[in-house]
């Protein structure tokens, strides 16, 4: 059980380089299933309760539930494991 079998990994999707916005994407020709999402991402819940990821800055900041945890190598939020587990169980 690892990130490849679960098809889940966290990667850079956006960068600000010398004041210029850059979408970042991984699209390996050997495995199209590993294509990553690009640009500024938001995670939003629809009215029916489904979770969707909006890419390339198309999402709504007001609906986004993603939280900045790291910035410039600094930990901003220290989530405890029990809190993460409860959240994953819908609590």
- This prediction has a pTM of 0.69
E strands, the chain, in order: 14-17, 20-23, 42-45, 51-54, 70-71, 74-75
Q: What is the pLDDT along the chain (91 residues), one digit of tens a residue?
A: 777 777 777 778 999 999 999 999 988 899 888 888 999 999 999 999 899 999 999 999 999 999 888 888 899 999 899 998 998 887 8
In the numeric block, the tokens 């945890």 are attached to 69
Nearest Cα to 63, choosing from 54, 72, 75, 73? 54
Cα 35 from Cα 62, distance rounded (Å):
27
């Amino acid at each position: 059980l690892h990130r490849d079998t679960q098809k889940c990994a966290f990667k850079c999707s956006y960068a600000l380089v010398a004041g210029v916005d850059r979408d970042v994407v991984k699209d390996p020709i050997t495995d199209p299933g590993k294509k990553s999402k690009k640009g500024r991402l938001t995670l939003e819940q629809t009215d029916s309760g489904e979770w969707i990821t909006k890419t390339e800055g198309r999402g709504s900041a007001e609906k986004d539930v993603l939280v900045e945890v790291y910035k410039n190598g600094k930990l901003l939020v220290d989530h405890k494991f029990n809190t993460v587990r409860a959240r994953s169980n819908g609590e």
